[in-house]
Amino acid sequence: MPSSRAEGAPPVVTGIGVASGFGYGKQVLRTGLHAGADVFGVLARPGRQPAGAATPFIGVEMPDPPDVLPKRIARTAGLSGRVAVAVLGEAWTEAGLADVDPARIGLVVGGSNLQNREAVLALTAHGEGRAILSPHLGYSFFDTDICGLCCAAFPIRGFSLTVGGASASGAVAVLQAAEAVRSGRVDACIALGALQDLSHVDLAALQALGALGPRHAQAEAAPGAACRPFDRGRDGFVFGEACAALVLRRADDLPAGAAAYGSIVGGAHRADGHRGPDPSLEGELRAIRLALADAGIGPDAIDYVNAHGTGTPLGDDTEAAALLEAGLATARINATKSILGHGIAAAGAIEVAATLLQMRDGRLHPTRNLKTPIVPQLGWVGETSERLEVRHALSLSFGFGGIDTALVLRAPGA
């Protein structure tokens, strides 16, 4: 986020498109989130389970995307690309982008190595001599394939790029899109947190790292109990397919009758110097404090925090300590990953969408399985949704490689 406010007013979010384990569209997401519905199960997509695995991987998978692409194009697009187009379509229509000059529309795709499962399936088939490699694989392994697919499906002619921030990728995309609008580079910019299509190899590596949970055989019988952010019984994150698109525009450039979900009034994206998965209390604190300073408010003005909340022991402990030290003990706090699972690249974007939807509804979704909070003195939203008027919210995302982000969102009229 730019440090100077002379470049323009904070951008507003005017369109949201989402896909999750609940399906496609904002309404099913809102209903599922507020109900804290259970969508966890054994992962079933081809390439998600290793042959002969004694304990299968669990998580959340969404329904297949609607057929919005021409068949000749859909045949060449992977799951991540087809979901991106469906999600972008919802946000595009709601934001009225058909009336914006295509040369003034930008796209930032959050995520890297987005189509690994497709690559593993192709490699397996090719290695066994069962298939001739499709020429489309020659470019689909680049993350820009999703940029190109979206820009071919919609008239986006300003710019397109991808940003990788591991689990913070979606939030980094929102920050970059906000900067592009605020600086006047484009009139509208879409931040897309892309679906991270993990393979069984990726899942096994994350489990070997100690990040992916659960690590016990009983989870197969009760997968809905495995994802437990900030609970004493947590033992790792649980993967969940997700994708979200947010359209950012200037408040003074909205069509007549258009309503904004809220504005991006502050943000920070900082490096904390860690190469691997270990979190940094100092880095998370810096991001929170810089985002609040960018918004021109103190911690006491934050009504609600959408926490990163993965369910990893060290990650949750560090984040809870950062929230306390940052002076956010009076804010209400929940973890969207407890319901949707961890969307990796998409997480930051769909959590910003969830935050804005909760602000509009005046209602906070529950945190599934939060029975014994690790730090009881923080303002946790437990297993029941709560009514709350949110004027300012803070959304946090932290990624492997020492990437710490924070976004401050303001409700319309606040």
Assigned domain for 7 exists: no
Do 232 and 334 fall within a single domain? no
Q: Taking residues 90-94, what's their average pLDDT? A: 97
Do 180 and 271 fall within a single domain? no
Assigned domain for 382 exists: yes
Average pLDDT, the chain: 94
Q: Are strands 58-59 and 159-163 parallel, antiparallel or unpaired?
A: unpaired
The pair of structure tokens assigned to 205 is 């590596």
SS3 228: coil
Do 201 and 333 fall within a single domain? no
Assigned domain for 1 exists: no
Number of domains making up the chain: 2
SS3 404: strand
Do 274 and 247 fall within a single domain? no
The pair of structure tokens assigned to 83 is 């979901």
Tell me the pLDDT tens digit for each residue of 366-384. Answer: 999 999 999 999 999 999 9
Assigned domain for 5 exists: no
Tell me the pLDDT tens digit for each residue of 245-273. Answer: 999 999 988 887 788 999 999 999 999 99
Do 16 and 138 fall within a single domain? yes
Indicate the residue among 233, 253, 273 that finishes a domain: 253
Assigned domain for 24 exists: yes
Q: For residue 141, what pLDDT is reported? A: 85
| Rounded CA separation 97/397 (Å) | 28
Do 53 and 157 fall within a single domain? yes
Do 94 and 178 fall within a single domain? yes
Do 228 and 337 fall within a single domain? no
Do 185 and 245 fall within a single domain? yes
Give 318's contacts (C-beta < 8 A, 6+ positions apart): 279, 280, 281, 284
Q: For residue 7, what pLDDT is reported? A: 59
Tell me the pLDDT tens digit for each residue of 128-170. Answer: 666 677 788 888 889 999 999 999 999 999 999 999 999 999 9
Q: Are 334 and 373 in contact (CB under 8 A)?
A: no
Q: H-helix or E-strand containing 269?
A: strand 262-271
Indicate the residue among 253, 280, 307 that finishes a domain: 253
Assigned domain for 56 exists: yes
At 217, the pLDDT band (50, 70, 90 cuts) reads low
Q: For residue 4, what pLDDT is reported? A: 39
Q: Taking residues 165-176, what's their average pLDDT? A: 98
Q: Are 231 and 374 in contact (CB under 8 A)?
A: yes
What number of other Cβ atoms are within 10 A of residue 330's Cβ?
11
Q: For residue 281, what pLDDT is reported? A: 98
181 lies in which domain range?
12-253
Q: Taking residues 58-62, what's their average pLDDT? A: 97
At 218, the pLDDT band (50, 70, 90 cuts) reads low
Determine which of 52-66, 85-99, 236-250 has the lowest per-residue pLDDT on average.
52-66
CATH number at residue 308: 3.40.47.10
Do 68 and 197 fall within a single domain? yes
Burial class (CB in 10 A: 0-12, 13-18, 19+), 313: middle
Do 128 and 174 fall within a single domain? yes
Indicate the residue among 200, 224, 253 that finishes a domain: 253
Q: Is residue 3 scored above 50 in pLDDT?
A: no
Greatest mean pLDDT among 127-136, 215-224, 231-240 lies in: 231-240
Do 277 and 144 fall within a single domain? no
Quick one: which of 381, 396, 230 has its CA closest to 312?
Answer: 230
